[in-house]
Amino acid sequence: MSKDFHDQGPRRVGQVKEVTSLANPIIKDIKALTNKKSREESGTFLAEGLKLVIDAIELGWTIRTLVYAKAAKGKPLVEQMAARTVASGGLVLEVSEKVIAAITRRDNPQMVVGIFEQRWAPLKGIRPQEGETWVALDRVRDPGNLGTIIRTADAAGASGIILIGETTDPFSLETVRATMGSVFAVPVARATPEEFLAWRKSAGVSIVATHLAGAVDYRTIDYRKKPTVLLMGNEQSGLPDQLAREADALARIPQQGRADSLNLAVATAVMLFEARRHLLSLAEGK
């Protein structure tokens, strides 16, 4: 990592730099953010597109660097985001289209890219309240699934996501793309299975685990009793016994046809919207 990249703390005076060379060390550092190791070391990640950058800044995420293509120069919203980046001590780069295409590894790149500080919700601080639904994902592997689940959790009004065990990175380019911006709206925590099980003891939640061998039809669950954590299994192997046996209910979504299971993101969506329907119909007295 170049010195410049790390030195962009809040005290740094913001500035606009023009960059056209792929050999520029700051560009090399930004390109490296496609690797998990570089993201972890710098504690940052990339988000593509003006809408996402605006959403993130509006939601209070810290922007380290704003990159825009020359063609976007002078657009009022881009200028506004550049001014806000500079005001918060970040760096603004005006780059050639070749550079922005290399950063995002796309032939038709977005004109604006933001580099933001990662944000993880501390598990210990999560105290779900009545009527809340959380999603816990056991070893989710596929970035597209994780991004889709974060987006769906946002749309279904869920309160957040807990990632259990070795999982794909919510801040990878692919996952952030799949969230369509919801990564900035939905808190994400991480835990080992042991930490998750210790947390649930004091969190006052009901764990509804989804399982192909579940004894309970998912439509019969009462989501009113306590705040609910929907626990979803790994794409290949499903939920391990260590987690399944700790659940308050093992729920099954009845299926027809030849498919042996639903895609993880689809199953999560079915569960989330059923919980929402249940909670809303109760609130409306139906």
Residues binding ligand SAM (CB under 6 A): 210-212, 214, 232-233, 235, 238-239, 252-253, 255, 261-262, 264, 267
What's the min distance (Å) between Cβ of 272 and ligand SAM? 12
What's the min distance (Å) between Cβ of 75 and ligand SAM? 43
Distance of alpha carbon 226 from alpha carbon 131, whole angstroms: 7
Q: DSSP states of 255-270 as a string? A: --SS-SS--HHHHHHH
Count helices and strands in the chain by DSSP H and E runs? 11, 12
Query: Measured in whole angstroms, how far is the alpha carbon of residue 85 from the centre of its chain?
Result: 22
Round the CA-based radius of gyration of the chain to a whole number and report it.
21
Nearer to ligand SAM, 49 or 214 (CB): 214
Matching residue, tokens 């950058």: 53
What's the min distance (Å) between Cβ of 234 and ligand SAM? 6
Interior CA angle at 276 toward 245 and 179, to 5°?
A: 85
Nearer to ligand SAM, 89 or 144 (CB): 144
Cβ–Cβ contacts within 10 Å for residue 285, how many? 5
Phi, psi values for residue 257, rounded to 5°: 75, -165
Nearer to ligand SAM, 35 or 255 (CB): 255
What's the min distance (Å) between Cβ of 217 and ligand SAM? 10
User: Starting at the edge strand that comes first in sequence, how are the strands of the sheet with 91-95 ordered?
Assistant: 15-19, 91-95, 63-69, 112-117, 44-48
What's the min distance (Å) between Cβ of 144 and ligand SAM? 13
Nearer to ligand SAM, 5 or 134 (CB): 134
What's the min distance (Å) between Cβ of 130 and ligand SAM? 25
Amino acid at 47: A
Reported as half-sphere exposure (CB side, CA atoms, 13 A), residue 73 has a value of 12
Amino acid at 230: L
Distance of alpha carbon 50 from alpha carbon 194, whole angstroms: 40
Distance of alpha carbon 121 from alpha carbon 224, whole angstroms: 25
Nearer to ligand SAM, 34 or 261 (CB): 261
Nearer to ligand SAM, 64 or 211 (CB): 211
Nearer to ligand SAM, 82 or 247 (CB): 247
Nearer to ligand SAM, 19 or 212 (CB): 212
Which run of H or E residues covers position 250? Answer: strand 249-252
